[in-house]
A and B are shown apart, each in its own frame.
Chain A
Amino acid sequence: MKKKLIILRFFSCLFLAASLALVASCNDDEGGKKDSFDRTRMLQHYADALILPAYNDLYSNINALHEAATAFDATPNAQTLQNLQQAWETAYTTWQYANAYNFGPAGEAGLQKGLIEEIATFPASESKIENAIASGTYNFRDFNRDARGFLAVEYLIFDPENNPEKILTDLQSTARREYLLALIENMQSRVADVLENWNDEYKTEFIRNDGTDAGSSTAQLYNEFVRSYESIKNYKLGLPLGLRPGQAAPEPTKVEAYYSGKTVKMFKTHFQAIEDIWYGRAKDGADGIGFREYLEAVEGGPELIVATENQLKAVHEALDAVPELPFSDLLQTHAAALDNLHTELQKHTRFFKSDMSSLLGISITYSSGDGD
């Protein structure tokens, strides 16, 4: 008898709790913003509107770079060099839009590091590149990541003094031109692999893996997004500005795109790409479901969106105050503007980093947390 009573009580309570839940969930008009957010659709949007277009663009622009390099190799002259330089600038600008997706097919695998380390390490090592050319032995699989990729190509085809004669003279060496072509072919094959992988199966996996645990697509995308953002502040600006402890002065040669002098254009594009990711905005400006929309749906999110957008505005103002000149020139003329830009980026960090991961409940590591 008593046993039956207890069972009855238990199920009544369960039933009541369930109905309460049902009523509450139907009755949630005032909390309309709390409509459950669909991460699957967000991932779908990121894959279709941002990530795949970024890799497609990158791939076709690296192919164009290869064509330009082949044309230059056939007839090295001022015009083909200029075309080659232009193709490099276009391709490297496109790279900034793919900068933040170093996971999945573009992530680390065995001895291979993420795509960003393999094709966009800076500053390039002049001595390693010269050694490779002199010895004629290079495999592009070793640890000399500062002797390959975009910035190694840049070193070969640009001159910081902007003297085309000097470049043309240097590139009379067949070994040098062979290295140049080999560098570009290596990038071609790496990007082709990533793109193919995304097209084949990874896209499905990316969209299906829609949790928030450490290995989930949202967590991977988020972590790389933050890492990419921080690299602008720490390495693209902080390092050449000499803002790291122990640096006695700015080091303008330790800058991204030193030889072409396109540093500012590159980090501005990079920041644009980062901002696009936060908004879920395609390159053509079409806004879709991104982190911003995700934040709208969570506790404390609307406040964070306001804070983030205010600071984004401040960052944009700081960016606008920096003209697209070579970094060493800017240090003479716009040092305060550069420092201010770094400060505004620094202020922005917490909105992308801890505030956002905390509100979205994204795990940033695999290790066990405290349990109940």
Chain B
Amino acid sequence: MATSRMRLNDIHTSLVRPVSIAPLVTFRVIFGVIMTFATIRFVALGWIEDHYTDPIFHFTYYGFSWVKPLPVFWMYVVHVIMGLAALGVMLGLYYRLSAVLLFLTFTYTELIDLTYYLNHYYFVSIACALLILLPANRWFSLDVRRKPEIAATTVPAWTVFTLKLQVAIVYTYAGLAKINHDWLFEALPLKIWMPANDKLPIIGWFLALPVMPYIFSWLGMLYDCTIVYWLSYSKTRPWAYASVVFFHSVTGLMFQIGVFPLVMMGCALIFFPAAWHKRLIDRVRIFLHRMFPALQERTQVVPQTASLSFPGPLKLLLALHFTFQILFPWRYLLYPGNLFWTEEGYRFSWRVMLMEKAGTATFYVKDSATNREGIVVNSEFLNAHQEKQMAMQPDMILQFAHFLKSWYAERGVQDPQVRAEVYVTLNARPSRLLIDPNINLASVEDGWKPKDWIIRYDE
């Protein structure tokens, strides 16, 4: 007992030990810049209408079906708030409020429609939530200019460690997920995706070489599993970071993955030493002062040491968060069958770009009174992205079936029965039935339990 308490004390001591605030500051600024850019990009591409207000039906997250889109004007308001909050985070202006607003607006928009679920959106939500808890505005921020008494150059170690741990989990789990037969030994899905990029300027011919999918599969797996380690040591760090830039640039060119490569290139910097961050910040400060002399401090800021504490409730909150982060991705083990096929326990587990999967789903609605069965034209209700995502994911198929039931019930079909014939191709294999085509989905409820109406892949 005594020794374990000592060990806990040691851990506590190392978590509250003073470290430089500089890595937190860089993270805050870069994250704020990227989020500002990403918000503007999203609005400029017209995605508010495409994603949120044009579709007549939205797929919801289990337990979050109460989240609804607002009218288009208010969706724009939400995005303006999101953009301003991202700016606030970047500048460290009303920082905590900004971080809270960024978290709320971003998470709200992501929860509207399951179709657009992306692991990196999930990561952004988590990062926003963590930033709320971290004192990243106590140096090189407009808050310090407003209230010089909050300035601090050191913070307790747990703050930087929290971010490192989160990024480490993302990379490591993404790497572990790649350890599977198709990825390593068939080089699938890269064997499908890479030749499709043979026309990219300069690197296209190189990507199209037949051996490249194998090389990229193995390197990708090794990279994700071990990059945190290589980034943590000074000797390997420059090469490791060069490979971060290389990998994320190549995938950014090859796939439509938006700002994700930028996010990861920014986040990986958290593993750089404090001195590096400090130098970077000092240089940026000098540059800014030269460009905008008005910014020069009027009075000397006397930095304090932030309180070196780790309050109990915060400790508990973070402990719970990381326990969840570490355990939740493994829930798939509790489900029978092939994870890639059933997707039971697939999301929220850092499984990124892991498989090529697509389906064609045909829904039949039967009038219980007349027994006449009609065939649904999906595109009358769903946009192309929604239909594509729905047609291969059982929980979305179920949601759409329920929507069809109520839609046609309102239009005079008596007690509609809904069944679906869904053919799915996984990693270039011939398509086959995903679910029982005879089951009445209208009377099936979603839940945590295994979906016994999925036809198992190995059968």
**A positions within 8 Å CB-CB of B:** 2, 6, 10, 17, 20-22, 24-25, 28, 31, 34, 36-37, 39-40, 210-214, 223, 230, 234, 238, 243-248, 297-300, 303-304, 307, 346, 349-350, 353-355, 357-372
User: What's the minimum C-beta distance from B58 to chain A, rounded to whole angstroms?
Assistant: 15
| A361-B356 contact in complex given A24-B210, A354-B423, C-beta closer than 8 Å | yes
Are B416 and A245 interface neighbours, CB within 8 A? yes
CA distance A364 to B387 in the complex (A): 11
Q: Which of A31, A34, A365 has the most B CB atoms < 10 Å from its CB?
A: A365
- Mask, B339-370, CB within 8 Å of A = 1, is 00000000000001100111110100101001
Closest to B424 in A: A354
Are B210 and A34 interface neighbours, CB within 8 A? yes
B contacts with A, residue count (CB < 8 A): 77
Closest to A362 in B: B196
- List of A residues within 8 angstroms of B392 by Cβ: 354
Closest to A343 in B: B375
Are A366 and B425 interface neighbours, CB within 8 A? no
For the complex, is B298 an interface residue (Cβ under 8 Å from A)? no
CA distance A247 to B375 in the complex (A): 10
Q: Which of A223, A246, A370 contacts B413 (CB 8 A)?
A: A246
Are A212 and B197 interface neighbours, CB within 8 A? yes
Q: Which of A247, A349, A361 has the most B CB atoms < 10 Å from its CB?
A: A361
Are A354 and B358 interface neighbours, CB within 8 A? yes
Are A358 and B425 interface neighbours, CB within 8 A? yes
User: What's the minimum C-beta distance from A231 to chain B, rounded to whole angstroms?
Assistant: 10
CA distance A298 to B377 in the complex (A): 30
For the complex, is B5 an interface residue (Cβ under 8 Å from A)? no
Are A369 and B257 interface neighbours, CB within 8 A? yes
Closest to B205 in A: A36
Q: Which of A246, A304, A366, A368 contacts B257 (CB 8 A)?
A: A368
Cβ-closest 9 pairs across A and B: A371-B257, A245-B374, A300-B428, A361-B196, A368-B258, A24-B211, A371-B260, A245-B365, A358-B358
CA distance A360 to B210 in the complex (A): 15
Are A365 and B360 interface neighbours, CB within 8 A? no
Are B251 and A371 interface neighbours, CB within 8 A? yes
Q: Which of B158-192 contact A (CB under 8 A)?
A: 174, 188, 191-192
Are B377 and A234 interface neighbours, CB within 8 A? yes
Are A358 and B357 interface neighbours, CB within 8 A? yes
Q: Which of B209, B252, B257, B360 contacts A370 (CB 8 A)?
A: B257
- List of A residues within 8 angstroms of B404 by Cβ: 245
CA distance A238 to B206 in the complex (A): 47
Are A31 and B428 interface neighbours, CB within 8 A? no
- List of A residues within 8 angstroms of B424 by Cβ: 354
Are A238 and B375 interface neighbours, CB within 8 A? yes
Are A245 and B376 interface neighbours, CB within 8 A? yes
CA distance A349 to B376 in the complex (A): 14
For the complex, is B385 an interface residue (Cβ under 8 Å from A)? yes
Closest to A245 in B: B374
User: What's the minimum C-beta distance from A189 to chain B, rounded to whole angstroms?
Assistant: 30
Are B192 and A361 interface neighbours, CB within 8 A? yes
For the complex, is B195 an interface residue (Cβ under 8 Å from A)? yes
Are B428 and A245 interface neighbours, CB within 8 A? no
For the complex, is B431 an interface residue (Cβ under 8 Å from A)? yes
Q: Which of B260, B360, B408 contacts A368 (CB 8 A)?
A: B260
Closest to A299 in B: B428
Stretch from B9-17, B66-74, B101-109, B115-123 contacting the other chain = B115-123
Are B388 and A368 interface neighbours, CB within 8 A? no
Are A360 and B255 interface neighbours, CB within 8 A? no
User: What's the minimum C-beta distance from B187 to chain A, rounded to whole angstroms?
Assistant: 9
Q: Which of B47, B256, B352, B412 contacts A213 (CB 8 A)?
A: B256
A-B contact pairs, 26 of them (CB 8 A): A6-B235, A6-B236, A21-B211, A22-B209, A25-B210, A34-B210, A212-B196, A234-B377, A246-B412, A248-B370, A298-B192, A307-B430, A349-B360, A354-B360, A354-B425, A358-B358, A359-B192, A359-B425, A359-B428, A361-B196, A361-B356, A365-B383, A367-B50, A369-B256, A370-B120, A370-B353
Are B375 and A365 interface neighbours, CB within 8 A? no
Are A346 and B362 interface neighbours, CB within 8 A? yes
Are B356 and A371 interface neighbours, CB within 8 A? no
For the complex, is B147 an interface residue (Cβ under 8 Å from A)? no
Q: Which of B202-223 contact A (CB under 8 A)?
A: 206, 208-212, 215, 220
- Mask, B245-270, CB within 8 Å of A = 1, is 00000011001111111000000000
Are A244 and B425 interface neighbours, CB within 8 A? no
- With A245-B404, A307-B430 known, 4 other A-B pairs at CB within 8 A are A2-B235, A21-B212, A36-B195, A358-B192
- List of B residues within 8 angstroms of A298 by Cβ: 192, 195, 428
CA distance A358 to B236 in the complex (A): 38
User: What's the minimum C-beta distance from A149 to chain B, rounded to whole angstroms?
Assistant: 22
Closest to A31 in B: B210
Are A355 and B425 interface neighbours, CB within 8 A? yes
CA distance A36 to B424 in the complex (A): 26
CA distance A372 to B120 in the complex (A): 9
For the complex, is B429 an interface residue (Cβ under 8 Å from A)? yes
- List of B residues within 8 angstroms of A353 by Cβ: 360
Are A371 and B384 interface neighbours, CB within 8 A? no
Are B360 and A17 interface neighbours, CB within 8 A? no
- List of A residues within 8 angstroms of B372 by Cβ: 248
Closest to B247 in A: A372
Q: Which of B51, B192, B200, B353 has the most A CB atoms < 10 Å from its CB?
A: B192
Closest to A39 in B: B199
For the complex, is B330 an interface residue (Cβ under 8 Å from A)? no
CA distance A349 to B424 in the complex (A): 12
Are B256 and A247 interface neighbours, CB within 8 A? no
For the complex, is B45 an interface residue (Cβ under 8 Å from A)? yes
Closest to A213 in B: B256
Are A25 and B209 interface neighbours, CB within 8 A? yes
For the complex, is B411 an interface residue (Cβ under 8 Å from A)? yes
Q: Which of A238, A359, A365 contacts B385 (CB 8 A)?
A: A365
- List of A residues within 8 angstroms of B119 by Cβ: 370-371
User: What's the minimum C-beta distance from B116 to chain A, rounded to whole angstroms?
Assistant: 7
For the complex, is B198 an interface residue (Cβ under 8 Å from A)? yes
- List of B residues within 8 angstroms of A25 by Cβ: 209-211
CA distance A357 to B424 in the complex (A): 12
- List of B residues within 8 angstroms of A40 by Cβ: 199
For the complex, is B272 an interface residue (Cβ under 8 Å from A)? no
For the complex, is B128 an interface residue (Cβ under 8 Å from A)? no
